[in-house]
A and B are shown apart, each in its own frame.
Chain A
Amino acid sequence: MFGYTFYWSLVWDAIPELLAGAWLTVQLAALSMLLGTVFGLPLAVARRQGEGRAYRLATAWVELARNTPTLFQIYMMYFGLGALGIQISSYWAVLIALTFNNTGYLAEIFRGGLAGIARQQLAAARSLGLNQRQGYLHVVFPQLLRIVFPGYVTQAVWAMLNTSLGMLVGLQELSGAAQSAQSVSFRSFEFFLITALIYYVIAKLIEFGARAVFWRWLRT
């Protein structure tokens, strides 16, 4: 093809580095999703109140996260904070920015789900003497995860794909690792083709894993 000889052995040699990068990618995606869930749930509850300080804070967070590019959010953490004299590593910059980003999107996903859970469910919990926190924790949130599951999984895949932006602040996640590896050989096409393949496999693993989790624990 095009008189070009593919040269795979270099890529083969770099597989350990790529896999190490893939591991970092998975780790960042998982952490940022976990943290995004922890922050996103209360944000969604606050968003439903429609007024007050918590509502305004939650709304600002959600709108900023959703209406600016993820790359901007990463740059803010990496270069922006740096300008304020706060230096953080590219790992933390990406983790914080992706958490910020995921929180905003997940809060909206959760808010949509909360609207689908009858207000009556919380009323029923309260009528039994459960307090607000217990009602949300034991009655509303467990149902919420079931309702929003498809959107949640899509977001998880998206978070994983978003870690690739780490490459632009020098992080050695999958894309960054591929970038460094290919720069030695200039065989960028082969390297990034394999990289794309690894992303694809991770995305599919997330989807299948999610399906298994749903089937095993979340069926009603």
Chain B
Amino acid sequence: MIDIRGVRKHFGNIEILKGIDLDVNKGELLCLLGASGSGKSTLLQCINGLEPIQGGSIKVDGIEVHAASTDLNMLRQRLGIVFQQFNAFPHLKAWENVALAPRLVQGKSRREAHEIALHHLAHVGLAEKADLLPSRLSGGQQQRLAIARALAMKPTYMLFDEVTSALDPELVGEVLDTMRLLRQEGMTMVVVTHDITFARNSSDRVAFLHQGTVAEIGTVSQVLGQPRSEHTQKFLRREHC
């Protein structure tokens, strides 16, 4: 379980997160919606410890992410993250991209890591692309590669940060399919997205962020069906026309 309490974050004088409270339960898919600048992506980076926070607490399975005593590199193995930019390592072949962390962080041998990599590449449908450099892959394939790379660390949670925003429209489907596959397998997922259709069809709960606070959180039918917050209503109206 991810337990977020009163999280504050600012860059200089600009306050991005103004006291966020949020739970992520085991096995659920939680979608974070909100306008750009509402703090969704920053929140994901904070959960992963990539960005420091200035107040509040984030606990992952009871471990305080931002405590000085926490071994972030250990903790991050539980938290896979996929970014908007594909971020495939351009100098490594597809399988080497996936095998890098198992080798360096978990101390797997080259052969073991190779096997792990092939397994996860097959999982996201990239078995045939294992020996190609990322520059030879399409955007959608690169994004699936990033998912495989994160899965190779056997994470308990997967965080998705607008993973389809930088993709050509015709490539979005394959990435969303991969995410749905993970959900069926019972992965706990936090998905930052603009894609209301995906949120409606695939998530268990939806949270709507507005200017650094959680304006509304609840089941899909609650938040997207009968939104109570005016910000959510306005957002949904705009997205639909």
Residues of A within 8 A of B (CB): 118, 120-121, 123-131, 134, 138-139, 142-143, 146, 220
- A126 CA / B83 CA spacing, docked (Å): 12
Residues of A within 8 A of B77 (CB): 129
Could you list some 9 contacts between A and B, CB below 8 A? A118-B85, A123-B45, A124-B89, A126-B72, A127-B48, A127-B76, A128-B153, A129-B101, A142-B91
Residues of A within 8 A of B45 (CB): 123
Q: Could you tell me if A129 and B48 are in contact, using CB atoms closer than 8 angstroms?
A: no
Any A CB within 8 A of the CB of B100: yes
Choose from A121, A131, A138 the contact partner of B73 (Cβ within 8 Å): A131
Of the listed residues B72, B79, B90, B104, the one surrounded by the most CB atoms of chain A closer than 10 A to its CB is: B104
A-B contact count (CB 8 A): 63
Q: Could you tell me if A129 and B105 are in contact, using CB atoms closer than 8 angstroms?
A: yes
Of the listed residues A120, A124, A127, A130, the one surrounded by the most CB atoms of chain B closer than 10 A to its CB is: A127
- A134 CA / B80 CA spacing, docked (Å): 18
Choose from B73, B87, B91 the contact partner of A129 (Cβ within 8 Å): B73
Residues of B within 8 A of A (CB): 45, 48, 50, 72-74, 76-77, 79-81, 83, 85, 87, 89-91, 100-101, 104-105, 133, 135, 146, 149-150, 153
Residues of B within 8 A of A125 (CB): 89, 100
Q: How far is the CB of B132 from chain A (nearest CB, A)?
A: 11
Residues of B within 8 A of A126 (CB): 50, 72-73, 76
Q: How far is the CB of A110 from chain B (nearest CB, A)?
A: 16
- A146 CA / B89 CA spacing, docked (Å): 13
Choose from B74, B90, B100 the contact partner of A143 (Cβ within 8 Å): B90
Given contacts A129-B77, A220-B133, A220-B135, contact A124 B104 (CB under 8 A): no
Residues of B within 8 A of A123 (CB): 45, 50, 83, 87
- A136 CA / B148 CA spacing, docked (Å): 22
Choose from B73, B85, B133, B150 the contact partner of A130 (Cβ within 8 Å): B73
Residues of A within 8 A of B73 (CB): 126, 129-131
- A131 CA / B74 CA spacing, docked (Å): 10
Q: How far is the CB of B27 from chain A (nearest CB, A)?
A: 22
Q: Could you tell me if A130 and B101 are in contact, using CB atoms closer than 8 angstroms?
A: yes
Residues of A within 8 A of B83 (CB): 120, 123-124
Choose from B87, B104, B149 the contact partner of A118 (Cβ within 8 Å): B87
